[in-house]
Structure 1
């Protein structure tokens, strides 16, 4: 497709009308949603054309109490509440995308707090976007404790501040999303679905830029085993490799992680067990020592930069034993599940003024 064809309906740089935007907020009903919506309402600047909150809790509308749009205050008249059936944030964002018609759509996570001047700043970012710019990212600020070192979970959340194209605050041209097929709903978690979309948008010839607006992303409370549950993202990494090749992480500017080290530690542990069952104690002891050293290195890498309290050290030791095999199992599961995965077919772009142009995004219609 020619560059001119891709620009159809994209709007003109420097035009306030071409920078009109909608806001889509997917949520699973966490209490932080009210603070997110209240911050958006309190922000100073031109109002979004539409605000769509997408309830992604599983089950029918009768199964859970309805979410309230009252925190939006003066923005409530332009707001809608839709349901996406618990299919994950990618599907929830597509549900919101199909419901809007503004030239731009800004995705916010329900745990962020936009700044006092955010509405002024986002409009400035979109007006300044050149005609070949398909998306503009907001800068995330993750507040960390000032009186102690951050925990492992807090450091992981702080990584969002440097993440590329995170949909915690990310604006895209609506026509561009329709052209590339929207979010890939094969990504069921809030992980890698944003990187996948960014790679497809860039592959279609558009640029992505970082804007000047700033948004706070507080650290959510998390249990001791949150880092273990997060290893499910290794299955999504398998899908990324299948869709974008083995060097996808470099093009997405994503950290590569420790999967290779986890595989080595897991193999050493499995070998130690097998040798012990085969009554080869000397070889089993050597393999067990390799497992112990690898596990200790991993645990210390997580303990050293942290507060080193008794609770944190205990959690790091316990989870460092469990994470390597869990990560490997999720990766193998993802490789098998996505062994035949193919990239989404790109749709032809259409003028965003027509609601049908947005409904062209893959997936079923929104449930009112």
Structure 2
């Protein structure tokens, strides 16, 4: 079973380890390898190990959804396997991919790989380590996910309005199944190491709340259930933020000499403190509880609710006019009966020219 492997990258050092692990299997199965260089602006050539036949595509630098669309639209084969550039495939990954795809029936539009996240054996995991470990239980995540070209073409590919590595895979999986395809889990395996991050990473990731606002607009109040996304804490974050804003506003009014507002400020402040303490305790309890982790959880737990709420409101205001991505024009055959030729004819055209550069001709210079 032939396939195209698409690897979007920002030039992480882990890309070289990924390609070295893929090398033997690529040659054995004659898989096509497309690397989408999605680094913004002028950039030096990627530092890639020699000896592997691949094509490097210029990505649009608009996030992983757009980079993956660039890759699959340039692919030659019926199946496209997406890999993130920070995973490490097992030695037999290519063999198992071939088996997974060969066993996929005509109604199967996608096959997910098995993801492992190694955690420390000598202590409890930190908050960031637990967040990363949650990927192992994620549904249809594109860290290792193969899709049939006809399924991607039928539903229009990844939604590029989701610019982060956040929800874009779950949203695509929903539309693929809505078009009549089924998804299944395969047996190939990759390891996803925990990426080193600073103590404020949990605050930076709150930008994803803007994407949640788009999904809420597109798919309604039950969007989490429809997209198989676990419940979150948005309502609690909004309540904590409202208490903080009320406390601050009441304190300003009380400072002007108006009676009764001091009690309002105190009550709202207590509500904010209680909500923040509960949030911090919920994050501290399963962790290592060392002084550094506790300090990080206390500080970020005070910041996350208002930051998350602001990003949600920003996303909601900007996405009010957005519409769901539609399927291909009416009259085409149902997705599970699409002939192979139709998939090629209906391949979407890239929005920009994508020059290809043979892998073998690239110099092994340093990457960012």
**TM-score > 0.5 by shorter chain:** yes
**Separation of aligned partners in 2, 1:21 and 1:43:** 12
User: CA–CA distance in 2 between the matches of 1:354 and 1:323?
Assistant: 47
Residues 15-52 of structure 1: CA deviation (Å, up to 9, x unaligned): xxxx3211000011111111111111144884253100
Structure 2 gaps, min length 5: 255-260, 357-368
- Picking from 42, 55, 67, the partner of 2:37 is 55
Q: Does 1:344 align with 2:332?
A: no
- Report what 1:32 is aligned to: 14
After superposition, the Cα gap between the structure-2 partners of 1:148 and 1:230, relative to the gap in structure 1 and judged at 3 Å, is same
Name structure 1 gaps, 5 residues minimum.
Answer: 1-18
User: Normalising by structure 2, what TM-score?
Assistant: 0.89
1:215 to 190, 197, 204: 190
For residues 181 and 48 of structure 1, do their structure 2 counterparts lie closer, same or farther at Cα, with a shift above 3 Å needed? farther
CA contact (8 A) 1:228 1:319 kept: yes
The answer to whether residue 181 in structure 2 is matched with residue 199 in structure 1 is no
C-alpha separation in 2, matches of 1:354 and 1:68: 37
Which stretch of the first structure deviates more once superposed, 43-52 or 349-358? 349-358
Q: Secondary structure at the match of 1:278?
A: helix
Compute the displacement of 1:251 (Å). 2.1
Aligned to 2:43: 64
Question: SS in structure 1 opposite 2:158?
Answer: coil
**2 CA distance for matches of 1:66 and 1:354?**
36
1:3 alignment partner in structure 2: none
Q: Following the alignment from structure 1 to structure 2, what is the Cα–Cα distance between the partners of residues 345 and 333?
A: 25
How many pairs align?
Answer: 343
User: 1: CA distance between counterparts of 2:195 and 2:144?
Assistant: 17
For residues 367 and 94 of structure 1, the distance between their equivalents in structure 2, rounded to whole angstroms, comes to 15
Equivalent of residue 289 in structure 1, options 262, 265, 270:
270
Name the SS for the 1:176 alignment partner: helix
- Per the alignment, residue 327 of structure 1 pairs with 308
Give yes or no for contact 1:100–1:355 (8 Å, CA) kept in 2: no
Structure 2 CA distance for partners of 1:361 and 1:179, relative to 1, 3 Å: farther
| Structure 2: distance between partners of 1:46 and 1:124 | 14
User: Per the alignment, in what secondary structure is the counterpart of residue 82 of structure 1?
Assistant: strand
Checking the alignment, whether the CA contact within 8 Å between 1:103 and 1:353 is kept in structure 2 is no
The CA distance in 1 between the partners of 2:346 and 2:21, in whole Å, is 27
In 2, are the aligned partners of 1:142 and 1:217 still within 8 Å (CA)?
yes
User: Deviations 1:92-131 (Å, cap 9, x if unpaired)?
Assistant: 0011111112110000000001101111111111111111
Contact 2:83 2:144 in 1 (8 A): yes
Residue of 297, 317, 322 corresponding to 2:298: 317
CA distance in 2, matches of 1:354, 1:201: 17
Asked whether the 8 Å contact 2:82–2:146 carries over to 1, the reply is: yes
Q: CA deviation at 1:265?
A: 0.3
Report deviation, 1:69. 3.5
TM-score after normalising by structure 1: 0.89
Aligned-residue offset at 1:356: 5.0
Equivalent of 2:226, from 248, 251, 269? 251
Task: Give distance in 2, aligned partners of 1:195 and 1:236.
Answer: 12
